[in-house]
Structure 1
Amino acid sequence: MRLNECLNHASVPTLQRIAKSLHLTCVPYSKLDILQSILEAWLDPDARKTMVDRWCTEWDAAMRRVVLQPRHAFAREEMASLLAPYGDGAIDRAFEAGWLYVHPDPATKFPLIVPVDVQAACHAHYVAAWRAQVAKRLDDPPCVHDEEDAILADLETLVAYVRDHDVRLTTTGAMYKRNLEQLMQLFEVEESLELPRWRFGYGKRAFAYPDRLALIYDFACDEGVIVEQDGRVEVDDARWMAWKSRLTVVKLRRFLRHYIASYRGPIPRLADVLRLIRRLGGDWLDLASLYELCLPFLNAFYYDSTEDVWRTRIVKMLVHLGVARIGSDTPESPPKWFQTTEVGQELLSQGDAESTADLTERRPALVVQPNFELVVVSPDPRLEETIAPFVERIPSDGVRAYRVLAHTIARGLREGHDFDAWRAFVVRHSLYGIPQNVERMLARWVAASRGEAEAEHRPPGESWA
């Protein structure tokens, strides 16, 4: 909604408070006169600049978050969290300031609105300031490190290695060191296998593998390409062939989404950092000044300082993902320059343009329990509609719960639903992932159902032999 629409739906007392906040002269009891006075001030370039400067100064921390969002409507709890540093009654004061409004539909999921033209004006204000803060260079640095799509090649190497070797897991659920050493010799990008004692938070297997390998391995498992079963690692050839058929940019996009999902726990504002980086374009940027710009969105995480999070968990991983490249002035000097690649700009732009249900913003909404029950912890009709084909509802008071069983899997497949897409959806929305015993039974039920379907369509007298 635009500002004129928001003003039109606002009450007279709200409009009066806005006019008073903006120091406007108008007839205080005429809604039309107040509304026209506010719009006339907004349409005047000098007055609009004064408003935007004031909003971006008085509400700086919150407004930075608002302008980086790919939407302009917010849940009340979300806005309350953004405005918490401003003390009690901050939402009411934001209403009075004239940049926040109530949605006219009380039943909407996002009842608070920042008008799109207000958000756009504040966005332009910040982007201009951000670009002025970061030092740039016009030519390429003498030494450039760019991994392009090497992560896809090394995923293929991992799959080939697992297929050709008897890869077993230790009691902690990790591959043996000899397997890791052999993989590092085959990978295009090699990593040290010497890991600190405490490693956690950045994906399910960050405790056992170096950062890039952990990301690749977790991704392969979440995609179902690699399966851990009975202490061994195996390849699901059907899912691997389906993966290989995708376009390169689609593969990289899925990797990026997986990275955000894995790292947004320890780095809650990772999505904001990526949106900010995208808005700076594809210039070569000074890493130090870029770090200072992103610092309000960064945090330390246990054994990682804020600078470690920036350097190791964001910059290094974006290079691994092909989203960015880094440059140095000499072969021996540390990286000094950062540039988003063309593919990276495309990937970040696509993520920025996606809906509020996108993975970068989505909060896990399901708990998949070992007893094959799916409990919806954040009720969402769209989510429940998506999981419905392969589950049955469990009658209960106060809890929205479902159960997945052999007959529900068979029913969904029989009706033509895509199980692989369903499983990926559940993984994305699950707070703790899918327990291994549930994964094993799902695979068996799917295989059994598909086998029965093939048997039904087999000509009489024909055997598998």
Structure 2
Amino acid sequence: MNLADMLSYADIGQLSRIATTYQCECSGNSKNELIQSILSTVNRREVFETQIGSMKMEDLRFINSLLFDPRDSFSLEELIARVQQSKFNKTDSAQQKADTPERPAATDGKKPAKKSKKTPESVTESGPRETISRFKQYGWLFNGYAGPNRYLFQVPSDVKERFKETLGKKFLSQAVYAEEEPHAYRDEQLIMGEDVKHFLDFVYHNEIPLTSDSAMYKRSLIQIMDRFGVKEDFPARGEWRFGYGRRMKDYPNRMSLIYDYCYFYGWLSEADSLLTLTPSGKERQAMRMAEPSDKLYRFWLRLYKGAIPNIRALTYWIDQLSHKWVMSTSLQSVLTPYIKPFYYDQPETILEQRLIGMMMHMGLLRIGEVPSKGQVIRMTPMGRSIVAGLSIEDDAIVLN
């Protein structure tokens, strides 16, 4: 539902609190007058942009996590967990301006709405509940109005779109674009899909022994990767590697994704210390077809979601900011504040290796080099269509 619909279902107490937050001048006893006054204020562009500009980083992360969730409603427990996930460290708040206002300043000099005597005061809880209460007072979160939905929270559909539009403008103003085309760039469109086919062919035609941990020996791995269209370095001995798939600890990044993809779909068997194809794997191998890029992308999103909870939001912003050649350094400065460290993986590493690097391997973006400027990236036409048109399950994949 849109904001106008949700306001019509809200009780007069919540309407009065929202009107007071926006300093609307209207009667606090008239529901219709409250709704009209709120809508006329909220729909003004400068008011919304002022709100975005005054939000703390943890609040921006919180709302950003809700914008790209395919679900329409959230429980209180889910919202509390998201607020907690949005607080990366104790210095987040200190990084904001000391004079950040708690509510948008009046833009027309009018007096705030008069509260009715029955209107409850604003909730002054601390922690996640205070954040949720504040978002309700801004009209960004609403309780359901009937049945079991009354205990769930929703973000108005049009408010979601306005957030995306306003955040997009903010990010675009911070991005730096190359004035010239790179002389050469790396583009791997459709190659990973072909390599899935090559991998299944190799397993079908060869006997591949496994270690006690069900990993392939290096000799077999080298033979497989020699058939691939993209070469990768092997992980360094003792290198920290987990959280991005079942075989991340054993194989290079791209190879690990291909292996886990085939394993997830039930095409591989690791029984009796041998890697073989299952009956469904043999059927897939006999098709002799490359794997579609959009299926690989869907799998990657869900597999990496455990380590990068807001991966869908980050891929959306990478797509939006890379419509033309953008400097990698500026992309990093815009997006790393929204990336939570994952154990020893810092935000810069996650963006460079887990996101941009893997998106390039899947053919979603190109990486080039501009003389005197450094690395630049740009989405491919295929990548833009895949990211823009995607609708997937939200549960993370865990391969045990």
TM-score (norm 1): 0.70
Indicate the residue corresponding to 1:79 in structure 2: 79
Asked if the contact 2:28/2:34 (under 8 Å) is kept, the reply is yes
Q: Which amino acid aligns with 1:57?
A: S
CA distance in 1, matches of 2:317, 2:2: 24
Deviation at residue 110 of structure 1 after TM alignment: 7.8
RMSD: 2.7
2:54 aligned partner: 57
Quote the Cα distance in structure 2 between the aligned partners of 1:256 and 1:70: 17
Q: What per-residue deviation string (whole Å, max 9, x for no partner) do you get for residues 15-61 of structure 1?
A: 11111111111122122222222233345x3xx43144225523433
Determine helix, strand or coil for the equivalent of 2:389: helix
Contact 2:177 2:324 in 1 (8 A): yes
- Does the 8 A contact of 2:302 with 2:395 survive in 1? no
Q: What one-letter code is carried by the residue in structure 2 that aligns with 1:178?
A: R
Match among 307, 310, 316 for residue 348 of structure 2: 307
Asked if 1 retains the 8 angstrom alpha-carbon contact of 2:209 and 2:275, the reply is: yes
Q: Tell me, in whole angstroms, the C-alpha distance in 2 between the residues paired with 1:109 and 1:224.
A: 41
Q: Are 1:202 and 2:244 an aligned pair?
A: yes
> Across the two proteins, how many residue pairs are aligned to each other?
355
1:151-162 → structure 2 map (5 Å cutoff)? 151-162=192-203
Partner Cα separation in structure 2 for residue 42 and residue 305 of structure 1: 37
Q: 1:93 aligns with which of 134, 139, 156?
A: 134
**Of residues 121, 140, 164 in structure 1, which corresponds to 2:162?**
121
Q: Does structure 1 retain, via aligned residues, the 8 Å contact 2:61–2:338?
A: no
Which of 204, 213, 216 aligns to 1:172? It is 213
Mapped contact 1:102–1:112 kept (Cα < 8 A): yes
Per-residue Cα deviation, 1:97-121 (whole angstroms, up to 9, x for no partner): 2222112234139821221222222
Separation in 2, partners of 1:329, 1:55: 34
Moved more, 294-303 or 155-164: 294-303
| 2:395 equivalent among 336, 353, 362 | 362
2:134 is aligned with what amino acid? R
Change (3 A) 1:16 1:243: farther
Out of 215-224 and 256-265, give the one that drifted further: 256-265
State the match for 1:213 in structure 2: 255
SS at match of 2:244: coil
Q: CA deviation at 1:239?
A: 3.9
Match of 1:189 in 2: 230
C-alpha displacement at 1:287, in angstroms?
0.6
Question: Could you report, residue by residue, the CA deviation over 1:56-108 in whole angstroms, capped at 9, with x for unpaired residues?
Answer: 52343333333344555333223223445573422222222222211223413
Given that 2:64 and 2:313 are in contact with CA atoms closer than 8 Å, whether structure 1 keeps it comes out as no
Structure 2 residue corresponding to 1:294, chosen from 335, 340, 344? 335
- Mapped to 2, the partners of 1:335 and 1:171 lie a distance apart of 44
Can you give the 5+ residue segments of structure 1 that lack an aligned partner in the other structure?
A: 364-427, 434-465
Name the CA shift for 1:237/1:148 in 2 (closer, same or farther; >3 Å): farther
* Cα gap change, 1:233 to 1:39, in 2 (>3 Å): same
- Amino acid aligned to 1:113: Q
**Amino acid paired to 2:51:** R
2:31 maps to which residue? 31
Offset from partner CA, 1:223-242 (integer Å, 9 cap, x none): 22222221111123644544
CA distance in 2, matches of 1:138, 1:226: 47
- Structure 1 residue 131: Cα displacement: 1.3
Distance across 2 between alignment mates of 1:281 and 1:138:
14
Corresponding letter in the other structure for 2:256: A
1:338 to 364, 377, 381: 377
> Which protein shows a greater Rg?
1
Counterpart code for 1:223: Y
Distance 1:199 1:117, change over 3 A: closer
Shift of 1:218: 1.3
* Distance 1:335-1:214 versus aligned 2 partners, 3 A rule: farther
SS in 2 for 1:273: helix
Tell me the secondary structure at the aligned position of residue 247 of structure 2: coil
Q: Which residues in structure 2 correspond to 1:126-137 (within 5 Å)?
A: 126-137=167-178
CA spacing shift, 1:4–1:304, aligned 2, 3 Å: closer
Matched-pair contact (CA < 8 Å) for 2:245–2:303: yes
Contact 1:325 1:340 in 2 (8 A): yes
| Counterpart Cα distance in 2 of 1:2 and 1:243 | 48
> 1:305, 1:241 → 2: CA distance?
41
Cα distance in structure 1, aligned partners of 2:340 and 2:39:
40
Structure-2 change in CA distance of 1:232 and 1:83 (3 Å): closer
Partner amino acid, structure 2, of 1:362 = D
Q: Which of 339, 345, 348 pairs up with 2:387?
A: 348
**CA-to-aligned-CA distance 1:381-400 (integer Å, 9 cap, x gap):** xxxxxxxxxxxxxxxxxxxx
Give the 3 Å change call, closer, same or farther, for CA 27–307 of structure 1 in structure 2: closer
Tell me: CA distance 1:83–1:216, structure 2 relative to 1, closer, same or farther (3 Å): closer
Identity of aligned residues (%): 26
Gaps of 5+ in 2: 88-125
Separation in 2, partners of 1:212, 1:343: 19
Q: Which amino acid aligns with 1:192?
A: D
Hey, what's the Cα distance between the residues in 2 that align with 1:215 and 1:50? 45
Partners of 2:151 and 2:386 in 1: CA distance: 26
Q: Which moved more, 1:278-287 or 1:16-25?
A: 278-287
